[in-house]
Amino acid sequence: MAKQLIKGNEAIVKSAVLAGCRAYYGYPITPASEIAEAAALYLPRAGGVFVQAESEVSAVNMLYGAASAGVRAMSASSGPGMSLMQEGISYLAGAELPCVIADITRGGPGLGNIAPEQGDYNQVVKGGGHGCYRTLVLAPASCQEMADLTALAFDLADAYRNPVVVMADGFIGQMMEPVEFAAKAKAPGSQPWAVEGNRETRPNLASSIHLEPDRLEQHIRHLEQKYLRAEREAVRCEHYQTGDAEIVLVGYGIVARILKAVVDEVRKEGIKAGLLRPITLYPFPSVQLRALARQAHVFLTVEMSTGQMVEDVRLALEGRKPVEFYGRCGGNAPSAAELVQVVREVARRSSPVLIPDAITKTEVCHG
Amino acid sequence: MAEVPSGYTVLHERPKAFYDTFERKGELQQQTHYCPGCGHGLAHKMIARAIDELGIQDRVIAVSPVGCSVFAYYYFDTGNVQSAHGRAPAVATAVKRSRPEAIVFSYQGDGDLAAIGTAEILHAANRGENITVFFVNNAIYGMTGGQMAPTTMLGQRTTTSPLGRDPFNEGYPLHVCELLATLEAPVYLERVALGNAKQVMAASRAIKKALTNQVKGLGFSLVEILSPCPTIWKLNPAKAQERVREEMVKVFPPGVYRDHTTERAARPAPPPAPGLDELPRLLDLEGHEFDRTGLERPAGLDLRIKVAGFGGQGVLMLGEVLAEAGLLLDLEVSWLPSYGPEMRSGTSNCHVRIADQTIASPLVAQSNVLLAMNEPSLRKFIGDVETGGWVLYNSRSLPEGVTAPAGVEVLCIPFTELADTLGEPKAGNIVMLGALLEAAGQLPAAAIDRALEMHVKSARWLELDRRALELGRETARKELANAYV
């Protein structure tokens, strides 16, 4: 099929329907509203359901209902709405119900503004709801990935019976790029645990309550095992020019796009920079980052926030190499020119000639 | 079930919609967790019996709340979904919409439904969801030990209204049936009580009717059940029932608050789902092909375009047509808008990249084409145009005090005025596009024409835009010829 020039937000919906999604429950919010608008058009056409909920609180609980009934369902929101959904996400994870939520991030805290920011990392990746659960998080950096990762999100949600968030900044949601959609539509599947309102599924129960501490611990341990499996099996990231990189830039979403241009630019000056772009924010590509610490002198994390993912980068590297940070926020994106300056400065500061031999050798041992 | 000994006749038996033993309960699996004299047990039994009588057990999905009835799923041998506090109507909405053949009821207490879940019940009722809601009102928070409910009566002492509910501090008891009766959508709203046998009989009829309505597809039904809570009220079961009968019914008068069951027709069934092979067409994935025969893919192209102007000048659309044309030529493209309040008033701009190589960043900080539809945009962005780049400005000349950076070509044409001569000043953006084709010259007109076709749905506008495009090209050709003379 020919590529289509399409907004990232709209690509999410088309890809979701092709992936077998048949329900959308959501509340409009800038810069995610095109997702609700496209869903209102396309879900009914595909024989699915679209309901504009009275709030994000209701929307996420509608996801809970649809997921309980075994339907591939999704919603979308942005920072303030994601905050409201956190209660429901905790319940979904606790009841092991799969669903997909797109978070098209904007500036915060509070009402903030509607320009792109990456300040939702902590609430989405670390889980803003209560209890021992995790949310799988995918971070597209292009409209094509909005489509591809949405489809993947539904598969991961089913495989792990857990909510999956597709988290993209407002740029990726609002921009248009050519997208090639899946050639074949997936049939909506059925789930043996679903409560469908028939004899076969009458014994089924969707619930997150386990009154006895021993049973709840057992349940939490079971969830934990799933998350450990995800950490082993579901990690995704993109390496760009990291083969010989002495400076490893780390960024996701639109920032990674800008960083690619930065890598190309500084390499012209002889600075050996590379980019590691986490595609899954949880599970985080810690192992992949650690592997780069063998050759890199320094890591530079760039975010459109005051530094949230950088904590995961530091945890991954466990002090092996210095981790620098550069962030813009409030709806401002760093320009490539601005970041080139930052990289030059970091390169100058962490030049290996300044590091005594002994330390360099120790670092090699670490590898 | 144990066999009936000979000589005995069964007059009452446990409804089949109850489990024989309550295995999910852990201990004491022969009895419920409800206190003696509590209304929940009775309400459960009436619901289970109605399910039996309607023969719908396999189809039923019970949505349990948070509160004393959080464990309703211990008892109902039906499909079960346990929901968050107050959210049962939202959960039930989606369960029902997902499985229209299922009979879905939510069972909620007064805190769940009338306090934390007020929005959910109101909107589920207002959408006329084809679900059944059983609302057990005992004017107190039982599960958590006796705090005030939204339905706690004036003067009633609770642990959080220790001096008695005072309207000046806690407001008045909330009347759910009366509130929902102001909405158009609900089909059936009735308040019943469990104060004596007669009231219980009436409650039983209401419960069955509320489920029957759903079986018939009529829409939203709610039964409010005034129910005793002997333990928290600190009354014995008989006295608690008396309180329902004597006190509660005065504050919450039983009765039918809405009954449109005879005049309302069944809601239309959802249309059959299309085949999977129809989805690409239904998702508008088709029709994006373009015959590139005879067209060369411009090599070495790297257009970094900024389009800017007032909202309403077609700035975003102009950018889209450019990006679409690039895609038709098999080039890499990106289109990034400013969005939000700018769209509603003030200035608007978009970044367009068209290149023969992978586009890293879609942001255009340094442009090589600036299409400025107004003066503020020109002033804002002209300094970022690179040497060798182009500025097209919507006027006869650059405003006073504005100069282009060295090595930047400038083409000043009053595009909006020209469009006005075609009878539509809004087509100024397309006149400008025509001029760009002449100035920058790398994009074949055929691709632009096809892109316009894809974007402009009205035949009148398409014809107009084609004329606008031609007018722009012609004017630019003349201007450029003059410039070189």
pLDDT digits (tens, 9 = 90+) for A318-351: 999 999 999 999 999 999 999 999 999 999 988 6
Query: Are B227 and B331 in a shared domain?
Result: no
Residues 6 or more apart whose Cβ sits within 8 Å of residue A197: A69, B58, B59, B60, B61, B79, B95, B99, B101, B102, B103, B104
Whether B64 is covered by a domain: the verdict is yes
In chain B, whose CA is at the least distance from the CA of A212? B26
- How many whole angstroms separate alpha carbon A24 and alpha carbon A294? 45
Q: Which of residues 318-337 of A touch B (CB under 8 A)?
A: 333, 335-337
Whether B265 is covered by a domain: the verdict is no
- CB of B60 within 8 Å of a chain A CB? The answer is yes
**Residue A365 pLDDT level (bands cut at 50, 70, 90):** very low
Query: Are B316 and B179 in a shared domain?
Result: no
3-state secondary structure of B400: coil
pLDDT at B291 over 90: no
- Supply the pLDDT for residue A357: 42
- How many whole angstroms separate alpha carbon B259 and alpha carbon B180? 12
- Supply the pLDDT for residue A53: 98
The reply to whether residue B123 touches residue A54, judged by beta carbons under 8 angstroms, is: yes
pLDDT at B485 over 90: no
Which pair of structure tokens corresponds to residue A102?
Answer: 């797109």
Q: Which CATH class is domain A237-366?
A: alpha beta
- pLDDT digits 0-9 by tens, A151-202: 999 999 999 999 999 999 999 999 999 999 999 999 998 999 999 999 999 9
Query: Are B370 and B250 in a shared domain?
Result: no
Query: Are B207 and B105 in a shared domain?
Result: yes
Q: Which of residues 21-40 of B touch A (CB under 8 A)?
A: 24, 26
Residues of chain A with CATH 3.40.50.970: 4-233
- pLDDT digits 0-9 by tens, B448-462: 999 999 999 999 999
**Residue A367 pLDDT level (bands cut at 50, 70, 90):** very low
Q: pLDDT above 70 covers what percent of chain B?
A: 98
Whether B16 is covered by a domain: the verdict is no
Q: Which of B235, B259, B283 marks a domain boundary?
A: B259
Q: Which of B259, B284, B317 marks a domain boundary?
A: B259
Cβ-based contacts of B33 with chain A (< 8 Å): none
- pLDDT digits 0-9 by tens, A211-266: 999 999 999 999 999 999 999 999 999 999 999 999 999 999 999 999 999 999 99
Whether B475 is covered by a domain: the verdict is yes
**Min Cα separation B257/chain A (Å):** 24
Q: pLDDT above 90 covers what percent of chain A?
A: 93
Q: pLDDT averaged over chain B?
A: 95
DSSP B191: E
Higher-scoring residue by pLDDT: B481, B109: B109
Q: What is the dihedral of CA B26, B32, B34, B39, to 10 degrees?
A: 150
Query: Are B122 and B227 in a shared domain?
Result: yes
Query: Are B336 and B190 in a shared domain?
Result: no
Mean pLDDT of the region A278-300:
97
Which pair of structure tokens corresponds to residue B370?
Answer: 């600036």
Query: Are B330 and B416 in a shared domain?
Result: yes
**Residue A366 pLDDT level (bands cut at 50, 70, 90):** very low
pLDDT at A300 over 80: yes
The reply to whether residue B81 touches residue A65, judged by beta carbons under 8 angstroms, is: yes
CATH number at residue B237: 3.40.50.970
CA distances from A366 to A237, A301, A315, A346, A360 (A): 23, 21, 16, 22, 10
- Supply the pLDDT for residue A350: 82
Q: Which of residues 134-163 of A touch B (CB under 8 A)?
A: none
Q: DSSP readout, B205-251?
A: HHHHHHHHHHHTT---EEEEEE---HHHHT--HHHHHHHIIIIIHHH
Give the distance, in angstroms, between the CA of residue B381 and the centroid of all CA atoms in the same chain: 38
- Supply the pLDDT for residue B484: 64
- In a mutational test of the B interface, the residue from A84, A169, A205 whose CB has the highest number of chain B CBs within 10 Å is A205
**Residue A363 pLDDT level (bands cut at 50, 70, 90):** very low
Closest CA to A141 of A172, A111, A112, A114: A172
Mean pLDDT of the region B298-322:
94
Whether the Cβ atoms of residue B313 and residue B429 lie closer than 8 Å to each other? yes
Angle, CA B470 vertex, CA B464 and CA B472 arms, to 5°:
100
Mean pLDDT of the region B419-428:
96
Query: Are B167 and B46 in a shared domain?
Result: yes
Q: Which CATH class is domain A4-233?
A: alpha beta
Query: Are B316 and B224 in a shared domain?
Result: no
Long-range contacts of residues A42-45, Cβ cutoff 8 Å, at least 24 apart: A42/A13, A42/A14, A42/A17, A42/B282, A42/B283, A43/A13, A43/A17, A45/B274, A45/B282, A45/B283
- Supply the pLDDT for residue B340: 56
pLDDT at A359 over 90: no
Whether B271 is covered by a domain: the verdict is no
Q: Which of residues 189-228 of A touch B (CB under 8 A)?
A: 195-199, 201-202, 204-209, 211-212
- How many whole angstroms separate alpha carbon B481 and alpha carbon B473? 12
- pLDDT digits 0-9 by tens, A35-44: 999 999 999 9
Residues of chain A with CATH 3.40.50.920: 237-366
Provide the domain limits for residue B224. Answer: 23-259
Domain count, chain B: 2
Angle, CA A75 vertex, CA A69 and CA A77 arms, to 5°:
155
In chain A, whose CA is at the least distance from the CA of B123? A54
DSSP A275: E
Q: Which of residues 321-340 of B touch A (CB under 8 A)?
A: 323-324, 327, 332-337, 339-340
Question: Which residue in this structure is represented by tokens 């004329």?
Answer: B467
Whether B232 is covered by a domain: the verdict is yes
- pLDDT digits 0-9 by tens, A106-152: 999 999 999 999 999 999 999 889 999 999 999 999 999 999 999 99
Which pair of structure tokens corresponds to residue B187?
Answer: 């089909």
What is the Rg, in whole angstroms, of the alpha carbon atoms belonging to chain A?
21
Query: Are B255 and B303 in a shared domain?
Result: no
- Supply the pLDDT for residue A361: 39
Mean pLDDT of the region B288-312:
88
Mean pLDDT of the region B180-190:
98
- Supply the pLDDT for residue B417: 97
- How many whole angstroms separate alpha carbon B207 and alpha carbon B49? 10
pLDDT at A356 over 80: no
- Supply the pLDDT for residue A362: 38
- How many whole angstroms separate alpha carbon B416 and alpha carbon B433? 12
Q: Which of residues 254-313 of A touch B (CB under 8 A)?
A: 254, 257-258, 260-261, 264
CATH number at residue B473: 3.40.920.10
- How many whole angstroms separate alpha carbon B190 and alpha carbon B192? 6
Whether B18 is covered by a domain: the verdict is no
Query: Are B254 and B305 in a shared domain?
Result: no
In chain A, whose CA is at the least distance from the CA of B269? A47
Q: Pairing state of beta strands B221-226 and B188-193?
A: parallel
- pLDDT digits 0-9 by tens, B332-384: 999 999 875 545 557 899 999 999 999 999 999 999 999 999 999 999 999 99
- Check residue A94 and give left, alpha or beta (phi > 0: left; psi -120 to 50: alpha): alpha
Of B91, B273, B274, the CB nearest to A64: B91
The reply to whether residue B279 touches residue A205, judged by beta carbons under 8 angstroms, is: no
pLDDT at A353 over 70: no
Q: pLDDT averaged over chain A?
A: 94
Cβ-based contacts of A95 with chain B (< 8 Å): 82
Whether B473 is covered by a domain: the verdict is yes
Of B81, B83, B334, the CB nearest to A177: B334
Mean pLDDT of the region A54-61:
98
- Check residue B154 and give left, alpha or beta (phi > 0: left; psi -120 to 50: alpha): beta
- pLDDT digits 0-9 by tens, A97-112: 999 999 999 999 999 9
Closest CA to A282 of A158, A156, A136, A141: A136
What values do phi and psi take at B139, rounded to 5? Answer: 65, 20
The reply to whether residue A64 touches residue B83, judged by beta carbons under 8 angstroms, is: yes
Q: DSSP readout, A314-329?
A: HHHHTTSS-EEEEE--
Query: Are B240 and B326 in a shared domain?
Result: no
- pLDDT digits 0-9 by tens, B235-288: 999 999 999 999 999 999 999 999 999 999 998 888 899 999 999 999 999 988
Exposure string of A344-358, with b = 16+ CB inside 10 Å and e = fewer, is bebbeebeeeeeeee
